[in-house]
């Protein structure tokens, strides 16, 4: 038969006894959610005969030549691509092939860790919370009867039978026929997630959100909530929070949106807002996860007894040992807070008995300031905060990586104030300003003359280590100001120039920045109050003094006073002038000891990394010592 004779050496578009053979090249790249390539993953395409398995190279890429015999040679068809790697969820994608020959298809496959992040909403809980609202079509959906039937079948295969390979093609068919129905597209994205198709699910949700924003007649909360959850899984709580807020505009009682907004607020350390939002989530009918998150928020924005009560409701009489580590850790933190509160009450009673008053910079007018002129009212406070916030934001936005000379002088003082033990050392001090999702922060390193990472010594004599002073003005940064209360006290000259004197006190329930005090393996968060001197013409902070918001009896820390003098620094490579710490003095009242450190900074330069510059690793030091970090 002449037709059979032509089956030898089939090529592009060649004829077989069964129809026209189509060849397509599929090029794939396999990555993790963090964007890292995944080598040695396996990929298969089916249906296929003969069966072939492909492996990704060191760049996470594979190329597959797929042949398909089309009986009619005129219709597109679909295949499934499965990518596997030990330690990850399998990833699937439904791929549309064209009847036309020679097509090249390029795809990205994202592999996800099967464990997920225990601090985030699980995929199972996400689908469980979203699907009831999407399962039943309403009259407003208006799908044609054929698409409505396919949608119902797809949902049944997805939610009732867990046959995702059957559900996804049915839902894809519905979406292709009626691409404007956002509920259908959101349900398809959920099914794709359950199947392991992160990439198509992400695209589906993103496209749906874009379409409903453009056509306000389609406005619904579910796609916005879904986009927020996907962003939270990518550890972008600030962006996720924006989508939850928008979703709540259209559905103010959406329990999942409220729960996840509360989670995002907690991740950004806005515990006061998280507390209020999660309370609303519980009122709206949110489940145990919201109760747990609310207990966590109450630990910071409420009292230890309130947090304990909420956690007990979450446990519902069950043994805490049966719960995952994060639940036991929260219980331990609540217990620690309860002990701290009791110790603080005892210490406060002793202080009151001695006739001592706790520091309160917001209520106690500054004393001992030569030439101080008190303010008549608070009318200048907001303009001052706005202007100084602008200056601080400029500093941390434009600040280059810098290196300077740091001289540290450590002292131990006797009870009568005489200097006893002393120790002095010099370092190359490197400071960088990384941007975090919630705002800027600081990273600092100390190196010896050879460029090796170094740590201050003197711990053998129980001298303290102190650091983090470049971060001190952050309390005035616009994104952090809401975490503190402020009071304008008046004016005083500093180095011959007039300056506004502004008090501040951090509010732990709202503050997203804090310090730390460590003794041995015990570390406690610290919050501060203090005074800032702000130049009246430039609104630069020229001096800053801070004290603990409250003593911390748990680690026997009674007082920590820091005084920072700032000086302008001009780099040859940068036009802008920066006001940076020049002289810092830290005095500590700890466990009956008075310790004092001074830091002097000079010779500032822009730091550029090249192949000759490196910072090595220091040797581990397990010696117990007090460490204070701003």
pLDDT digits (tens, 9 = 90+) for 146-158: 888 999 999 999 9
Q: Which of 595, 523, 592, 513 is nearest to 561 (CA)?
A: 595
DSSP 472: G
Q: Indicate the SS3 state at residue 137.
A: coil
pLDDT band at 420 (very low <50, low <70, confident <90, very high): confident
pLDDT score of 434: 79
Q: Are 384 and 534 in contact (CB under 8 A)?
A: yes
Please provide the CATH number assigned to the domain covering 2-111.
2.60.40.10
Find out if CATH 1.20.1420.30 is the number for domain 123-332. no
Reply yes or no on whether the pLDDT at 141 is more than 70. no
Report the DSSP beta bridge partners of residue 103. 24
Q: What is the DSSP string of 300-356?
A: HHS-HHHHHHHHHHHHTT--GGGS-HHHHHHHHHHHHHHHHHHHHHHHHHHHHHTT-
Instruction: Give me the pLDDT at residue 138, please.
Output: 57
Strands 465-467 and 626-629: parallel
Sheet holding 626-629, edge to edge: 465-467, 626-629, 515-519, 522-526
Q: How far is CA 55 from CA 43, 113, 560, 580, 630, in A?
A: 6, 19, 59, 54, 50
Which phi-psi region, left, alpha or beta, contains residue 102 (left: φ > 0; alpha: ψ -120 to 50)? left
Dihedral pair phi/psi, residue 589, rounded to 5°: -110, 100
Q: What six digits make up the tokens of 576?
A: 């802008």
Of the pLDDT bands very low, low, confident and very high (cuts 50, 70, 90), residue 520 is confident
Question: Which residues are CB-contacts of 382 (< 8 A; sequence separation ≥ 6)?
Answer: none
Q: What percent of the chain has pLDDT over 70?
A: 87
Report the percentage of the chain scoring pLDDT > 90. Answer: 53
Q: Name the pLDDT band for 70 (thresholds 50, 70, 90).
A: low
Strands 103-111 and 61-70: unpaired
Backbone angles phi, psi at 353, to 5 degrees: -65, -30
- Running DSSP on this structure, what letter comes out for residue 452? B
Q: Which residues contact 628 (CB under 8 A, 6 or more apart)?
A: 464, 465, 466, 467, 515, 516, 517, 526, 560, 586, 588
Residue 140's pLDDT band (cuts 50, 70, 90)? low
pLDDT band at residue 211 under the 50/70/90 scheme: confident
Domain 2-111 and domain 373-618 have a common topology:
no
Section 238-243 average pLDDT: 95
At residue 67, the pLDDT reads 73
The predicted model gives 295-300 an average pLDDT of 94
CB-count burial class (<10 Å; 0-12, 13-18, 19+) for 271: buried
Token pair for 388: 């100084």
Q: What is the mean pLDDT of the chain?
A: 86
In sequence order, what are the residues at sequence separation of 6 or more whose Cβ sits closer than 8 angstroms to the Cβ of residue 615?
A: 430, 445, 447, 451, 452, 453
Residue keyed to tokens 């927020």: 228
Mean pLDDT of 217-245: 91
Per the rule left: phi > 0, alpha: psi between -120 and 50, beta: everything else, 565 is beta
Give the H or E element holding residue 27: strand 19-32
Q: Are 56 and 84 in contact (CB under 8 A)?
A: no
The helix (run of H) or strand (run of E) holding residue 484 is strand 484-494
Question: What was the pLDDT predicted at 624?
Answer: 44
Judged against a pLDDT cut of 70, whether residue 226 lies above it is answered with yes
The predicted pLDDT at position 129 comes to 95
Left, alpha or beta for 591 (phi > 0: left; psi -120 to 50: alpha)? left
Q: Which residues on adjacent β-strands are paired with residue 83?
A: 43, 91
pLDDT (average), residues 266-270? 89
Q: Which of 168, 179, 169 is nearest to 144 (CA)?
A: 179
Reply yes or no on whether the pLDDT at 525 is more than 90. Answer: no
- Classify 86 as helix, strand or coil: coil
Alpha carbons 357 and 560: distance in angstroms, whole number: 16
CB atoms inside a 10 Å sphere around CB 272: 20
| Rg over CA atoms, the chain | 31
Residue 33, pLDDT > 60, answer yes
Give the integer Cα–Cα distance in Å for 45 and 66. 8
Asked if 447 and 427 count as a contact pair (C-beta separation under 8 A), the reply is: yes
Nearest CA-CA partner of 520 in 422, 590, 448: 590
What pLDDT does 75 receive? Answer: 60
Count of helices and strands (H, E) across the chain:
14, 25
Q: What is the Cα–Cα distance from 269 to 210, expressed in whole angstroms?
A: 30
Q: Is the pLDDT of residue 456 over 70?
A: yes
Q: Are 476 and 389 in contact (CB under 8 A)?
A: yes
The confidence score (pLDDT) of residue 12 equals 35
61-70 and 19-32 as β-strands: parallel, antiparallel, unpaired? antiparallel
CA distances from 207 to 131, 140, 147 (A): 19, 20, 20
Phi, psi of 287 (to 5 degrees): -90, -160
Residue entry with tokens 């600030």: 238
**Domain formed by 373-618, architecture:** Clam (2.50)
User: Distance between CA atoms of 585 and 142, rounded to whole angstroms?
Assistant: 71
* Sequence-ordered list of residues with C-beta below 8 angstroms from that of 75, at least 6 positions apart, any chain: 99
* Confidence band for 459, pLDDT divided at 50, 70 and 90: low
Question: Which segment, 16-25, 175-184, 378-387, is predicted with the most confidence on average?
Answer: 378-387
Tokens, residue 129: 């919370």
Higher model confidence: residue 336 or residue 115? Answer: 336
Average pLDDT over residues 408-431: 87
Question: Is residue 59 predicted with pLDDT exceeding 90?
Answer: yes
Report phi then psi at 317, rounded to 5.
Answer: 80, 0
Q: Is the pLDDT reported for residue 369 higher than 70?
A: yes
* pLDDT of amino acid 15: 40
Query: pLDDT tens-digit profile of 555-582?
Result: 888 899 999 999 999 887 777 889 999 9
Q: Tokens standing for 250? A: 């259209």
Q: Is the pLDDT of residue 465 over 90?
A: no
At residue 419 the predicted structure's pLDDT band, cuts being 50, 70 and 90, is: confident
Domain ranges of the chain: 2-111, 123-332, 373-618
């Amino acid at each position: 038969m002449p037709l059979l004779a032509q089956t030898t050496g089939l090529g592009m578009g060649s004829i077989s006894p069964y129809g026209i053979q189509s060849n397509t090249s599929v090029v794939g790249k396999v990555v993790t959610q963090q964007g890292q390539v995944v080598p040695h993953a396996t990929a298969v395409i089916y249906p296929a005969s003969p069966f072939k398995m492909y492996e990704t190279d060191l760049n996470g890429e594979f190329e597959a030549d797929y042949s398909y015999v089309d009986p009619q040679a005129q219709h597109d068809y679909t295949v499934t691509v499965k990518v596997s790697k030990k330690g990850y969820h399998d990833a699937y994608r439904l791929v549309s092939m064209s009847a036309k020959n020679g097509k090249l298809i390029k795809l990205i496959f994202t592999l996800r860790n099967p464990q997920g992040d225990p601090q985030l909403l699980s995929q199972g809980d996400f689908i469980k919370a979203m699907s009831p609202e999407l399962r039943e079509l309403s009259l407003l959906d208006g799908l044609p009867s054929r698409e409505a039937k396919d949608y119902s079948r797809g949902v049944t295969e997805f939610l009732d039978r867990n046959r995702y390979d059957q559900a996804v093609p049915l839902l894809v068919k519905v979406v292709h026929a009626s691409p404007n129905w956002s509920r259908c597209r959101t349900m398809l994205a959920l099914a794709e997630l359950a199947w392991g198709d992160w990439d198509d699910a992400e695209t589906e949700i993103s496209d749906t959100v874009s379409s409903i924003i453009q056509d306000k007649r389609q406005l619904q909360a579910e796609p916005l909530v879904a986009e927020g959850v996907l962003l939270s899984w990518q550890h972008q709580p600030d962006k996720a929070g924006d989508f939850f807020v928008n979703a709540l505009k259209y559905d103010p009682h959406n329990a999942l949106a409220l729960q996840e907004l509360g989670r995002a607020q907690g991740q950004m350390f806005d515990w006061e807002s998280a507390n209020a939002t999660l309370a609303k989530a519980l009122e709206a009918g949110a489940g145990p996860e919201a109760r747990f998150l609310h207990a966590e928020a109450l630990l910071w924005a409420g009292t230890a007894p309130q947090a304990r009560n909420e956690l007990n409701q979450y446990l519902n009489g069950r043994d805490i040992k049966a719960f995952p580590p994060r639940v036991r850790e929260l219980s331990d933190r609540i217990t620690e807070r309860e002990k701290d509160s009791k110790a603080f009450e005892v210490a406060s009673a002793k202080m009151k008995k001695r006739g001592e008053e706790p520091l309160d910079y917001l209520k106690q007018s500054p004393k001992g300031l030569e030439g101080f002129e008190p303010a008549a009212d608070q009318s200048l406070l907001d303009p001052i905060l706005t202007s100084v916030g602008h200056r601080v934001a400029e500093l941390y936005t434009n600040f280059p990586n810098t290196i300077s000379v740091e001289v540290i002088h450590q002292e131990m003082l006797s009870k009568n104030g005489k200097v006893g033990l002393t120790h002095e050392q010099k370092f190359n001090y490197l400071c960088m300003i990384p941007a975090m999702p919630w705002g800027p922060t600081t990273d600092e390193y100390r190196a010896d003359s050879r460029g090796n990472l170094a740590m201050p010594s003197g711990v053998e004599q129980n001298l303290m280590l102190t650091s983090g002073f470049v971060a001190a003005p952050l309390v005035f940064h616009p994104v952090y100001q809401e975490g503190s209360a402020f009071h304008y006290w008046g004016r005083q000259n500093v180095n011959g120039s007039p300056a506004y004197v502004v008090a501040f006190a951090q509010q732990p329930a709202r503050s997203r920045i804090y310090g730390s005090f460590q003794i041995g393996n015990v570390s406690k968060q610290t919050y501060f109050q203090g005074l800032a001197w702000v130049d009246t013409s430039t609104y630069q902070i020229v001096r800053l003094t801070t004290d603990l918001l409250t003593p911390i009896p748990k680690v026997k820390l009674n007082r920590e006073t820091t005084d920072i003098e700032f000086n302008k620094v001009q780099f040859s490579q940068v036009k802008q002038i920066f006001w940076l710490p020049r002289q810092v003095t830290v005095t500590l009242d700890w466990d009956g000891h008075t310790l004092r450190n001074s830091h002097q900074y000079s010779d500032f330069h822009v730091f550029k990394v090249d192949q000759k510059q490196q910072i090595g690793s220091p040797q581990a030091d397990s010696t117990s010592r007090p460490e204070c970090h701003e």
